[in-house]
Amino acid sequence: MAYQSFNPATGKLLKQFEEISDQQLEAKLAAAAACYATWRHKTYAERAAIVDKAAALMRDRAEELAHTMTLEMGKRIDEARGEVAFSADILAYYAKNAERFLANEELHPKLGEGHVESSPIGVVFGVEPWNFPYYQLARVAGPHLMAGNVLVIKHAGCVPQCAIAFEKLWIDAGAPAGLYTNLLISHEQSNRVVDDPRIKGVAVTGSVAAGRSLAARAGQNLKPSSMELGGSDAFIVLDDADLEHTIKWAVWGRMYNTGQTCCAAKRFIVVEALADKFLEKFKAALEALKAGDPLDEKTTLGPLSTESALIDLLKQVDTAVSHGAKVIMGGKRVDRPGSFMQPTILTDVKPGNPAFRDEFFGPVAMFFRVKDEDEAIALANDSDFGLGGSVFTKDVARGKRVASLIDTGMMFINNINWSDAELPFGGIKNSGYGRELGDMGIQAFVNKKLVRYAVTDAPS
């Protein structure tokens, strides 16, 4: 059974869902294609009425949606409520701004006049992960539906109830049949969806392996794609950082969503002058976190999303240790029911250790001691990933200089606050390509058409 909803805080099965048949898949793709034929001609105001209504329904159902997310993938309830609110904000943001973002761009040729206009391209196929069950969906739905495209989505197998709840928002918002379709399909069916000529674009958030496979398949079909993949973000602490402020962000940056965030702080790179103090305070703050029921607002450490995720992470830690890394705290599962892992800090992770190149998708921090700013920058850039990163310093000009030298899609100075619909999200290298959110996020699947008028004779 590919779509199973387990409560990772207890290990108990909540619900399971059958994959749809090939005949059902064909009917859904046909409905999406038929919807596009009319949706593409709707005005921005007509589209915004539906998208705004979906946002309003998210806010009205916030507690119910958050509760489902916490039960299904273990996100602590306060974080779940925050995700629902941000997801609604994203939908509302594009309902308000899409027309401005896609307005004709006037050109100034030497002769005559011209402009570039933006038009939708068709049915877009999204493949989305479990770690942000609504946010990942909202950040494709908001821009691409407002652009005039329609969506068919394969969500992760462990969050089917969230996927169904998000689809229901669109139905209840009055969306035409086929505008937003949740697909409970197999990987083999997913490949056939990419191949289907009615699909005109592919949007993926997920692992590097999934990205490679789907990007290759989209490429074979000459279809545009966007890829938001993994990350191993550097958290750089310079010698003039405000340590109290920095530690708070270090804990949040590594432990938000139990560390299951692509752009989480994962490699803590601290200059020698502050290294001992930082490590002492960071360790104490992580030790204070207590595992508990993620539905309880007092819980400070939630479970990992699935038992398999926990087992894989424990194996990664063991592999790192076998290659010379030291565990200075944690490294084991928490002795209680559910898929809980102790907050963990690894040191002495050298090049050649698999951990040096890997992404730890959970509460595992790697700590690196460096002599100065230059060494910090070099180490931050010595990564196969390039999603985000942060730098902490009291000198904002210095922070901006360092940020400009880091090879990533995003850098944050004295914070890691990416939760604003205005901010483009995405990376380079193995972290993928393309951007979501902001003005850039609506441009991925539109045709930028040149229209030129000039009174001139053909060359003789």
Question: Is 262 marked active-site?
Answer: yes
Q: Determine how β-strand 428-429 pairs with β-strand 385-386.
A: antiparallel
Question: Which of the residues 167, 228, 359, 373 is marked catalytic?
Answer: 228
Question: Which of the residues 262, 263, 359, 436 is marked catalytic?
Answer: 262
Task: Kindly report the backbone phi and psi dihedral angles of residue 184, in degrees, each rounded to the nearest multiple of 5, phi listed first.
Answer: -90, 85
Return the residue matching tokens 């424990």: 314
User: Rounded to the nearest 10 degrees, how much is the dihedral formed by the CA atoms of 93, 385, 244, 248?
Assistant: 50
CB-based contact 146:445 (threshold 8 Å)? no
Q: CB within 8 A of 263, min separation 6: which ones? A: 231, 233, 387, 388, 410, 416, 418, 425
CB-based contact 51:95 (threshold 8 Å)? yes
Active site residues: 228, 262
